[in-house]
Structure 1
Amino acid sequence: MRSFFRRALGQILIDGKFVSRRALNRALEQQKQTHELLGGVLVRMGVLSPSDIGAPLMVQEHLTSLEDAVKLAAGQRQLLGALLVQSGKITARQLDEAIAEQHRSGERLGQVFVRLGMLTELQLKGLLDLQHNQESPASNPLRLGELLVATGQISRQQLDQALARQKQTGQRLGEVIVSEGFARKSQINHVVRLQKLCVNSVLAAILSMGAMTATASASTVSLQWDPSADASVVGYKVHYQADSQTTPFLGPAPIDVQTATTASVANLDPSHSYSFAVTAYDASGIESTYSNIVSVPEMQPPVTSITYPATSTTVAGVVSVTADATDNVGVTKIEFYVNGVLKATDTASPYVFSWDTTALAPGSYTLMTKAYDAAGNVGQSQSVTVTVANDTQAPTVSVTSPSNNLTVSGSVSIAASATDNVGVSRVDFYLNNALLSSTNMAPYTYNWNTKTVANGVYNITAKAYDAAGNIGQSQTTTVNVFNDVIAPTVSLASPASSATVSGTVTVTANATDNVGVSKVEFYKNGVLVGTSTLAPYSFSWNTKLDANGTYTLTAKAYDAAGNVGVSQSSTVTVANDAIAPTVAITYPTAGATVSGTVTVTASASDNVGVSKVDFYIGSTLVATDTLGPYSYSWNTTAYPDGSYTLTAKAYDAAGNVSQSASMSVTVKNTRAGKKK
C-alpha cells in the first residue's frame, strides 16, 4: 500500500475540525516566534484544552500508512455513503443522486462513486477497509475507553474495572463508567465528540490518496493531484467557482497547467468558499470528466465584542454577560470565556451568559468571547476586565429634598444621596410606597409633577441598591401637596364702558384670588399695554398717542400658580381736542378811560367747550372765571391813574389755550385841579 508518510499535526487538526484554518495560521505564526510545540501554542491561545490536544496527537502517531489509518477507525459501522457525507467529500444531495444511479445501473454503490469521479479506486478500497474495521471489537487508540484515559478523564485501572463490569451487565461502556461514578455524562459526551473529530481526520487522510488535495491561505489555494495513468493525456486544467459545488463549473475560465500536477490559484476572496476540480485533456483538446471536487471554505472570521459589562466595571451576584457577533455568512455560536476558561456557549442571538460570581473570590477577572461560523472560522473579542466584589453591606441613602413637612406645588425636584462600600447601582424613589422613578446615575434626582396627584399629604422614600443586590432604605419625608387651580377674578373699574376719554387717563381694575393676585395685565385691542403688581391695580394711558376712535380695554389677573382670570371688555372712545378756543375782551373798549369799579367782560368759544377764562392786567393774572358770561370786577381805585393793558386767555378741557388781543385803557380816578 502507498505510504502516507507522517501527516502534519496541523492538517489533522483541520481535517477533524478541531481548529479553524484561521486559528491554525495564527498559531503557526506564534510558533515561529516562540519555537513552542504547535499543541502548546493552541492550548495557550485557548483554542484547545490541554486534555483535548492528546487526541489529535494520537491520530498523528498512527497515520504512517493506509493500514494504520483503517485500523485507527472507531465507533459503530457506518455505510459508505454516510462516511462520505460525514467527511464532507460529497453532499447529501450527491449521495441521493448516486443511490438513484445505483438503482438504475445495478452496480455496487462504490463502483458508482468511482464511475462518477467522486472516488478513486484507491480511495474506495481504503474506505471499504475502514468500514470493515469499524465492525472489529479490537482495541485501538480511538476507542472510547482509550480516549477517556488519554484525555485524563479516568485512570487505566478505572477503565479495566469498567470493561469487566461491562461484560457482566452488557451495558454500553459509557453508561458503566457513569454508573460507577468514574466520570460524568458530560465528560463522556465530550470524549465522544473528540472521537468523531479524530475519525474525521482519519477519513480525510484516506481520501487524500489518489485524489486532488488542496491547502489554502487567505487568498491563495494550492492544489495537488495524482497524474493520470492514461497515456493519451497531454495536460490538465483546473476548474473552480465560488460558493457552489454544482457541475459544470460556471466560474472563471479554467487554468491550463499543461503537464504539471500542482497549481496555485491566487487573488481569491477569503469571504467566499471555493470548489475546485481537475480535468485531463488529450492532444485533440478533449477533456475528461471532472476529478473529485475539493472545497475550501470561506475564511473570513466573525467579529464579536462584549457589550456588557464594560471594562473596569465592578460586578457581583449573577451578571448577565452579553455579546454581539456578525459574520459575512452567519454566526453559528458564541463561546464565553472567564480567565481563558470556557464557561458557556450560545447558538442564538441575543448572546447571553449568566455568570454567577457569588462563589468567586473578590478580585479581577477577564472576560472574552469567541464567535464561530459554519466554516469553522473563529473571531475573538477584545478582553474585558472586571472586578468581582461580592459584599453583604447595604448602601446608605437619604432623601435630601424636599424638606420634611414642606408644602409643595407644581414641579418638585426629589433628590437623594447614596453611598456604598463597593458602589451604588441604582436608586428608586417611592411615593406612598409606590415606585415613582429609578435612576442609576448620580446625582440621584427626579422631577415630580405634583399636579398629577390630588392635593393632600404624601410620603417620599428612597431605596439604594448595590451590585450584590443589597438594599438600603431612606427616612420618610412627608410633604403637603397644594396646587392652586382657581383662577383670580378681575373687572375693569374705570373708565366706564362707552366713556369718551382724552389726554392722560388712569385705567383701573379690581382683582381678587383665593390665594393671592401676583399681577394684573392691561390690554388695549388685545395688545399688552401695562402691568401692575400692587393694588390698586392701574396704569396711565396717554390717549394722545392714539388716533381718535373706539378702543377695547381688557384686564388679566394672575396668581402664583399661573392661573389666569380675564375681565369683561370695556369699549371707550378717544376724542383728543387739538383746536384752541377763541377769546376777546368785549368791555371796556379800546382807548376808554375808566374809574371806580369796572366790569371787564370777555367772550370765549370752543369746538368742544371752554373750561375757563383768565383775565390779565399787564402780565399779572387778576381773575379766573369758569362760567360764561366771563367777567371780572376791576377796582381801578387800587391802581394809580395811567394807561393799562388788558388781555384774556381761554382754555378747553384738552388744555388748548388762546389769548385775546390786548386792550389799552386809561385809569383816571383823580379830579382835575383837586389835590390828593
Structure 2
Amino acid sequence: MQSPNLFQRISRRALGQILLDGKFVSKRALNQAIREQKTTHELLGGALVRMGVLKPEDLAAPLLIQQHLSHIEDAVKLAAGDRQLLGALLVQSGKITMQQLDEAIAEQKRTGERLGEVFTRLGMLSEQQLKGLLDWQQNQGSPTSTPLRLGELLIATGHITRSQLERALARQSQTGKKLGDVLVAEGYLRRSEVNRAVRLQKMCVNAVVAAIMAMGMSSAASAASVSLQWDPSTDATVVGYKVYYETDSTAVPFQGAIPVDVQNITSATIANLDPSHSYSFAITAYNAAGEESSYSNVLTVAEMQAPTTAITYPSNSSTVAGTVSVTADATDNVGVTKVEFYVNGALAATVPTSPYVYSWNTGALAPGSYTLTTKAYDAAGNIGQSQGVTVNVANDLSAPSVSLTSPANNMTVSGSVSIAANATDNVGVSRVEFYLNNSLLTATNMAPYTYAWDSRTVPNGVYTVTAKAYDAAGNLGQSQVLTINVSNDLIAPSVSLTSPLSGATLTGTVTVSASASDNVGVSKVEFYRNNVLQATVATAPYSYSWTTTSVANGSYTLTAKAYDAAGNVAQSQNSTVTVSNDTTAPTVAITSPATGAVVSGTINVTVNATDNVGVSKVEYYLSGKLIATSSVAPFSSSWNTTTVTDGGYTLTAKAYDAAGNVAQSSNTSVTVSNGTTATTAGKSGTVKKK
C-alpha cells in the first residue's frame, strides 16, 4: 500500500468551518460538539444532531456544498446568485469595514487604479482571493444550476423530489411567478417551509463567500481525500477488493465500518474526510463467492486540524518593563502538546501544559519595540501560530509619585466615601492601590484613580487611608497617610401610625397621621396603602389627606416607613381600616304648611327627612334664601311671616347626610296674609285655607 500523498496536499473546507461561516451553529455549540467527539468518536454532524443543535435535514445543505469547496473555481461556480459589486462583497464577508471601503475608494480616485488593485496593494486581499471574487461577480446571474439554488436545496433537504421540481419549473415558465410561490400553489410545500429554505440558501451563500475569502490565505492544509494503492493479490480466485476505513481507531476488525467495493481495481481515492479526525485504512480481497480475506496492514493518517493560539497578555502596543508574564491561550480538537513562545522570531520558551505562561525578563534588553508570537502543537504535528503582539520595552528605575486628594485629613465621614488619588510617572502608571489601616481596599489601572468606599462596613472609629502607585517596571510610590473619623448612624428611626386606628370605618376625606423619631433626625416618612406608596412627607407633622371616595368600599391596610439621613429605615405597625362611603342621598319633603296655604303670624315649618345611614342636618329656604337649619329630628322650624310683606312665597328644604349627599324637597307655595287678620307680635299665627 502506498503512502497517501494527496491526503497531505488537497485542501478542503472543514464541515465545522462551513457551519460557522454560514451561521448554522454558534462557536460555543461547535466547540461543545468537538469536545464530545473525543469521547463518542462520532462524525461532527452526528454530534450536533444528537445535541439538538441541528436537525438531520439541516446537515444536507452544508454537506452538499462541502464537496464543492476544494478549489476556488468550484466555489465561484457554486456561489451563482444576484449580482453584487466587489466592495459590497467584501463588506458582506466581513473582510473589510465600510470605513475601509471608503478609504480604498478614495485611494482609487487618487491613483486611478482599479478597486481590486487597491485592495491587494493595501493587503486587504490576496491575488487568489481577488481573482475568486471577480470571477464570482462576473459569473453571477448565470442560469446554470448549482446546489445553492432554491430547488436544489429543497431536494437535498428532502422537502421535494426531482420530478416535483421539474414540474414546478415548467409551471414557473408559464406563469412567471417565483419558484417558491409555485411550489406553495402546487401544494408541494407550506409557505413556512419555503421561507426556511430561503434562509438556508442565504446561510449557504455566506459560507461560500467566507470560503472564497479564506482561499489563498496562509494556513495549514486540511485533508479532503486520501489516495490508496496496493499490490494485486497473487490468488487467482480473487475477483475484487474492498477498502475499510474508520475514524480515530487503529483496531481491527473495524467496528461498524461500511467498506468501499472497488471491484478489481488496485487503487482508490476516499473523499469527504473530516480533517479534524485521524483515519485508519485496510484492504480485503474477495472471491466470486463473496468470501473475504483478512485485513491487510493498517495505514493510519493523522488528523490535520491545527491548534489555535493567541497571546492574551500583554496587549498589543502596550509598554512593559522588568519581568513580564506573557500568557497565551491554545486549543485543539484533540489536544495541545506544547506551546512555544517567540521574541522577535527567536524561540524563548516551551511550555508543555496549560496554563501557558512565559516569564519574560526584559531587564537586560535594550529599550525598544519587540514582537511576541506563539506556536501551538498537537500530537499529530499540526502547528498553529498566533498573530504577533508588538510591545514597547521601557526599563524604568523611577518610582511613580502619588498623593491622596480625597477625603481631607482628619475628616469625619459616613456612608459612601469617595477616596481619590493623583498619580504620575515618567513612563506610565500601571495601577493604583487604596489601603485602609494597611489592608487593601481595591486596585485600579484606569485614571481618574477613585474608589467609592462604603464606610458602614466597618465600626465607627478612627482609620488611616493610604495609596500606592506602581509602574510597568514594578517601581512603587506611596502617598501620605490620611486620618479619618468614621461616624455612621446605625440606629433606625421609630414610627407608628396614630390615625386612623386599626378597625376604624372610614368615609369621605380622612387624615392619615404618623409619629416618627430618630436619634439623629427623621429625613422623611412614607405612607403606604396595601403596600403601595401614597405620600411622602419630609417634615413633621407627618400626615396626609386621604379621600376615601376615590377607592372602592372594602378593607385596606395602612403602614408608614420612616427614614433617617444615613438611610436607616423602620416600618410602623399595620392599621386595618374599612372604607364605607355613603353614596345614597336622603329623602326630604315639607309636611307643613301644605302647598297653597294662606299663612300669617308665626308658623311651624315641619319636614320629614330620612337617610340609609342618617340625616346630619336639614336646611329651610324661603324663595331660595336660607332662613333656618336644624340637625336633630323631628325637623321643624318657626317662621315669623310678619317679617315679610304679604304675598306669595316658595318654601323648600334640603337634607344632608354625613357623607355630604344632599337632597332637595319639592316646592311648597304659600301666601302670606298679615293684613287685618294679622295677630299682634308674640301671638300665634294662623293658616288659612283657600
TM-score (ref. length: structure 2): 0.51
Contact 1:399–1:475 (CA<8 Å) still a contact in 2? Answer: yes
3-state DSSP of counterpart to 2:399 = coil
Contact 1:487–1:565 (CA<8 Å) still a contact in 2? Answer: no
1:466 CA displacement: 0.9
Query: Do residues 522 (structure 1) and 513 (structure 2) align?
Result: no
Partner residue of 1:555? Answer: 560
3-state DSSP of counterpart to 1:571 = strand
Partner residue of 2:426? Answer: 421
Distance 2:278 2:409 in 1: 72
Q: Deviation digits for residues 264-298 of structure 1, max 9, x if unmatched?
A: 99989998999999xxxxxxxxxxxxx99999988
Counterpart selection for 1:320 from 317, 320, 325? 325
Distance 1:572 1:662, change over 3 A: farther
Contact 1:395–1:471 (CA<8 Å) still a contact in 2? Answer: yes
Distance 2:577 2:297 in 1: 105
Contact 1:499–1:571 (CA<8 Å) still a contact in 2? Answer: yes
Counterpart selection for 1:489 from 471, 486, 494? 494
5+ residue gaps, structure 2, are 10-221, 232-240, 283-295, 680-690
Partner residue of 1:617? Answer: 622
Q: Deviation digits for residues 560-612 of structure 1, max 9, x if unmatched?
A: 405132134253563526232534253699533524xx243424433344433
Q: Deviation digits for residues 133-191 of structure 1, max 9, x if unmatched?
A: xxxxxxxxxxxxxxxxxxxxxxxxxxxxxxxxxxxxxxxxxxxxxxxxxxxxxxxxxxx
3-state DSSP of counterpart to 1:451 = helix
Partner residue of 1:602? Answer: 606
1:551 CA displacement: 4.6
Structure 2: which amino acid aligns with 1:310?
Answer: S
Q: Deviation digits for residues 245-282 of structure 1, max 9, x if unmatched?
A: 99999999999999xxxx999989998999999xxxxx
Query: Do residues 345 (structure 1) and 319 (structure 2) align?
Result: no
Partner residue of 2:396? Answer: 391
Alignment of 1:128-167 (within 5 A): none
Partner residue of 1:657? Answer: 663
Distance 2:389 2:508 in 1: 82
Distance 1:593 1:273 in 2: 125
Contact 1:585–1:647 (CA<8 Å) still a contact in 2? Answer: no
Partner residue of 1:382? Answer: 387
1:465 CA displacement: 0.9
1:502 CA displacement: 2.6
Alignment of 1:247-646 (within 5 A): 304-325=309-330, 333-371=338-376, 380-402=385-407, 407-548=412-553, 551-560=556-565, 561-572=567-578, 574-576=580-582, 578-584=584-590, 586=592, 591-595=597-601, 598-607=602-611, 608-627=613-632, 630-632=636-638, 634=640, 636=642, 638-646=643-651
Contact 1:240–1:274 (CA<8 Å) still a contact in 2? Answer: no
Contact 2:339–2:375 (CA<8 Å) still a contact in 1? Answer: yes
Contact 2:600–2:678 (CA<8 Å) still a contact in 1? Answer: no
Aligned length: 435
Distance 2:304 2:651 in 1: 123
Distance 1:293 1:403, change over 3 A: same
User: What is the percentage of aligned positions where both structures have the same residue?
Assistant: 59
Distance 1:563 1:477, change over 3 A: farther
CA RMSD, aligned part only? 5.2
Contact 2:620–2:627 (CA<8 Å) still a contact in 1? Answer: yes
Structure 1: which amino acid aligns with 2:584?
Answer: A
3-state DSSP of counterpart to 1:662 = strand
Distance 1:309 1:355 in 2: 11
1:459 CA displacement: 3.0
Distance 1:537 1:668, change over 3 A: farther
Distance 1:622 1:352, change over 3 A: closer
Q: Deviation digits for residues 53-90 of structure 1, max 9, x if unmatched?
A: xxxxxxxxxxxxxxxxxxxxxxxxxxxxxxxxxxxxxx
Q: Deviation digits for residues 389-432 of structure 1, max 9, x if unmatched?
A: 01122223344555555555444454444332222222212112
1:468 CA displacement: 0.6
TM-score (ref. length: structure 1): 0.52
Distance 1:665 1:545 in 2: 47
Contact 2:552–2:579 (CA<8 Å) still a contact in 1? Answer: no
Distance 1:648 1:274, change over 3 A: closer
Distance 2:351 2:362 in 1: 19
Distance 2:630 2:275 in 1: 116
Structure 1: which amino acid aligns with 2:393?
Answer: V
Distance 1:386 1:494, change over 3 A: closer
Alignment of 1:14-29 (within 5 A): none
Distance 1:603 1:377 in 2: 111
Q: Deviation digits for residues 108-132 of structure 1, max 9, x if unmatched?
A: xxxxxxxxxxxxxxxxxxxxxxxxx
Distance 2:298 2:584 in 1: 113
Query: Do residues 668 (structure 1) and 675 (structure 2) align?
Result: yes
Distance 1:573 1:220 in 2: 89
Structure 2: which amino acid aligns with 1:657?
Answer: A
Contact 2:343–2:373 (CA<8 Å) still a contact in 1? Answer: yes
Distance 1:582 1:240 in 2: 110
Structure 2: which amino acid aligns with 1:667?
Answer: N
1:557 CA displacement: 2.8
Contact 2:500–2:575 (CA<8 Å) still a contact in 1? Answer: no
Distance 1:264 1:548 in 2: 91
5+ residue gaps, structure 1, are 1-20, 26-216, 226-236, 278-290
Distance 1:509 1:663, change over 3 A: farther
Query: Computing the radius of gyration over CA atoms, which structure comes out larger, 1 or 2?
Result: 1
Distance 1:431 1:666, change over 3 A: same
Q: Deviation digits for residues 506-560 of structure 1, max 9, x if unmatched?
A: 2222222223333333344555444433322222222334455555443333334
